């Protein structure tokens, strides 16, 4: 009887171990299914459609191979959109990526009022983009806007903020400098998480003030800064809402980002194949830049 009992207990244990291995997959499986269905399947469909002259009535239409890609690469408006996107990315990194780091560093030095100022920086992030655009379109208005009122008060000439090709991109991105949003809180949390022993050792060695921020604090939150940098660059290359709502891509296409270009290709030109081809090319460029950033970070860490 004993061998039979031991065999049955062994079978029960194997069954339980298998069930415990399956249970985590049951929790993860819905997320995997929806991710594949709602993320990867549309990406594969976009790549597939990009090789066709899409026909809404008889989808996917006529197969034309790489002609959509060749048409884009020979189109001046496409390269203008890329140039605008690169300028937008540079402005976003300067105006909206660096300030939250500085704000968090300064907040970390406060002993009183830190919670108040943290909340103050967070509140602007709660304002919807559409409301923010309406407010800033009034500020930038050439006739009765607040920005030109300040210039007139200082004895300067008013400017055509959203109608001047040299100022349009700056005027679209500049509102992002008002308040650091969630990024400030993330950086502040990372800074406050730096071990006290490190800061105390730095103080003993005479490394205080801005030197401590530069040589102690920033290196210890470098990983978070790097992650935020990747997210910021990806978001900048996909920029659509702000230029579309501010100027619709104008004047004369100077604010047409790659996102606006793809949107216009679908809505105005009704060319789904070319729009998907542009999306695929954008995806490839973002992937290459992200891989390059990751490798650069690894090489610096080593």
What digits encode the pLDDT tens for the residues 102-151? 888 888 888 787 888 888 888 877 888 888 899 999 999 988 889 999 99
- Given the candidates 3.40.50.1580, 1.10.3720.10, 1.10.1740.10, 3.40.50.300, the CATH classification of the domain at 72-301 is 1.10.3720.10
DSSP letter for 176, please.
G
Q: Pairing relation of β-strands 52-53 and 62-63?
A: antiparallel
**If you average pLDDT over every residue of the chain, what do you get?**
85
Would you state the pLDDT for residue 137? 92
pLDDT value at 4 more than 80: no
Residue 172, number of CB atoms within 10 A of its CB: 26
DSSP letter for 40, please.
I
Question: Of 250, 278, 238, 263, which is closest to residue 75 (Cα–Cα)?
Answer: 278
E strand or H helix at 15, and its extent? helix 2-35
Question: Of 252, 222, 225, 241, which is closest to residue 88 (Cα–Cα)?
Answer: 241
Side-chain-side CA neighbours of residue 15 (13 Å): 6
98-108 vs 182-192: helix crossing angle, rounded to 10 = 50
Integer angstrom CA distances of residue 208 from 75, 113, 188 = 55, 21, 18
Three-class SS string for 241-296?
HHHHHHCCCCCCCCCCCHHHHHHHHHHCCCCHHHHHHHHHHHHHHHHHHHHHHHHH
pLDDT value at 30 more than 70: yes
Region 70-98: mean pLDDT is 93
Residue 90, number of CB atoms within 10 A of its CB: 13
Q: Across the chain, how many H-helices and E-strands are there? A: 17, 2
Query: pLDDT tens, 246-293?
Result: 998 888 889 999 999 999 999 888 889 999 999 999 999 999 998 888
Yes or no: say if 220 and 194 are a contact pair by the CB < 8 Å rule. Answer: yes
Would you state the pLDDT for residue 185? 87
Region 230-250: mean pLDDT is 91
pLDDT value at 3 more than 60: no
E strand or H helix at 52, and its extent? strand 52-53
Would you state the pLDDT for residue 75? 92
pLDDT value at 214 more than 90: no
List the single range of 3-7, 40-44, 186-190, 230-234 with lowest mean pLDDT.
3-7
Yes or no: say if 120 and 188 are a contact pair by the CB < 8 Å rule. Answer: no
* Torsion angle of the four alpha carbons 198, 199, 205, 209, in this order, in degrees rounded to the nearest 10: 150
């Amino acid at each position: 009887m004993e061998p039979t009992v031991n065999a049955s207990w062994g079978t029960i244990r194997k069954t339980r171990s298998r069930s415990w291995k399956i249970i985590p997959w049951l929790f993860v499986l819905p997320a995997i299914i929806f991710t594949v269905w709602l993320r990867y399947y549309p990406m594969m469909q976009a790549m597939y459609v990009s090789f066709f002259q899409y026909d809404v009535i008889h989808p996917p239409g006529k197969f034309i191979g790489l002609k959509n890609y060749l048409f884009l690469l020979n189109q001046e408006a496409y390269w203008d959109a890329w140039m605008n996107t690169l300028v937008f990315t540079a402005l976003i990194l300067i105006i909206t990526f660096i300030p939250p780091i500085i704000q968090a560093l300064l907040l970390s030095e406060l002993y009183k009022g830190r919670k108040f100022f943290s909340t103050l920086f967070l509140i602007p992030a709660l304002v919807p983009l559409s409301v923010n655009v309406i407010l800033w379109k009034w500020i930038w208005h050439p006739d009765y806007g607040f920005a030109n009122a300040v210039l007139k008060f200082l004895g300067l000439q008013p400017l055509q903020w959203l109608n001047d090709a040299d100022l349009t991109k700056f005027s679209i991105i500049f509102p992002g400098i008002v308040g650091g949003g969630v990024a400030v809180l993330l950086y502040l949390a990372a800074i406050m998480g730096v071990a006290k022993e490190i800061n105390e050792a730095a103080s003993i060695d005479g490394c205080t003030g801005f030197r401590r921020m530069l040589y102690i604090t920033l290196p210890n939150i470098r990983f978070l800064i790097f992650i935020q940098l990747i997210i910021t660059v990806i978001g900048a290359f996909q920029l659509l809402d702000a230029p579309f709502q501010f100027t619709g891509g104008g004047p004369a296409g100077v604010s047409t980002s790659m996102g606006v270009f793809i949107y216009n290709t679908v809505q105005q030109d009704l060319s789904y194949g070319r729009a998907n081809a542009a999306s695929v090319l954008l995806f490839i460029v973002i992937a290459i830049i992200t891989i390059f950033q990751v490798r650069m970070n690894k090489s610096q860490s080593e």
